[in-house]
């Protein structure tokens, strides 16, 4: 029986290309962005649902620039209600939460991710899907440079602290964890997004992690 993978995240799950200006808006094609690389590596026994929204946050706080629809807490509830049943959910968020106007520490960002995990592990949600596994992915560390340097004030330090916090959170919640940082780096053009090689690397890494579960 074919299994379903739901990849929930932000612009790096969407496949946004590195941006030389904040107004750029280009996306890698199917087979280039990491979720589809993962799906190809897993083979025909898996079906992919991509849920990547540029600007999405883990926190429920309203983004004063991009809007309330960036709230990942509501977004995850919608995605899990729309796409059931699924067999595995990946969550890779936290980069946008590093923006200074949210006022979040690394611990605050991890706490927001804990809220996402709580939504996914809710017994009623799990029952409606027949049960599904969760893989939490710590995104690569942000660089304070490039097109978004003004939005990334003090973001690097917060971002660098997330993998350890996410690993502890995943262990506490009893879910799988993957740290992308040792394998993937963000691009110098904007300090946030991945080049195509990084997408290929992350896609294969996620597929190997899923195969080991």
CA angle 51, 53, 56 (to 5 degrees): 115
User: In sequence order, what are the beta bridge partners of 133?
Assistant: 88
Q: Which segments of the chain does DSSP mark as H helices, in order? A: 11-14, 34-42, 72-82, 106-121, 123-129, 155-173, 196-212
**pLDDT, one tens digit for every residue, the chain (213 residues):** 899 999 999 999 999 999 987 666 799 999 999 999 999 999 999 999 999 999 999 999 999 999 999 999 999 999 999 999 999 999 999 999 999 999 999 999 999 999 999 999 999 999 999 999 999 999 999 999 988 888 889 999 999 999 999 999 999 999 999 999 999 999 999 999 999 999 999 999 999 999 999
Place of tokens 């896609």: 203
- Going from the C-alpha of 24 to that of each of 16, 18, 20, 190, the distances in angstroms are 9, 9, 7, 11
Predicted pLDDT at 23: 63
Phi-psi region of 59 (alpha: psi -120 to 50; beta: other; left: phi over 0): beta
Q: Is 141 helix (H, G, I), strand (E, B) or coil?
A: coil
**Distance in angstroms (rounded) separating the CA atoms of residues 114 and 126:** 16
> What pLDDT score does 166 carry?
98
Cβ neighbors of 158 (< 8 A, separation 6 or more) are: 98, 104, 105, 106, 109, 142
Give SS3 for 176: strand
pTM: 0.96
Adjacent-strand bridge partners of 16: 27
């Amino acid at each position: 029986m074919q299994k379903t993978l739901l990849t929930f995240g932000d612009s790096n799950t969407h496949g946004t290309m590195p941006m030389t200006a904040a107004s750029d808006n280009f996306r890698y094609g199917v087979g280039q962005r990491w979720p589809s690389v993962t799906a190809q590596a897993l083979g025909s026994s898996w079906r992919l649902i991509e849920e990547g929204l540029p600007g999405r946050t883990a926190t429920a706080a309203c983004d004063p620039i991009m809007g309330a629809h960036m709230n990942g807490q509501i977004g995850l509830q919608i995605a899990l209600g729309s796409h059931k049943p699924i067999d595995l959910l990946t969550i890779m968020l936290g980069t946008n939460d590093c923006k200074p106007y949210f006022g979040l520490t690394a611990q605050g960002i991890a706490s927001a991710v804990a809220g996402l995990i709580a939504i996914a592990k809710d017994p009623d949600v799990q029952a409606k899907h027949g049960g599904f596994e969760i893989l939490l992915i710590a995104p690569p560390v942000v660089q304070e440079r490039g097109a978004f340097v003004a939005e990334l004030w003090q973001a690097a330090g917060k971002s660098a602290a997330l993998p350890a916090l996410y690993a502890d959170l995943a262990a506490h919640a009893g879910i799988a964890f993957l740290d992308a940082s040792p394998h993937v780096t963000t691009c110098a053009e904007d300090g946030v997004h991945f080049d195509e090689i990084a997408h290929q690397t992350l896609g294969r890494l996620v597929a190997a992690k899923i195969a080991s579960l």
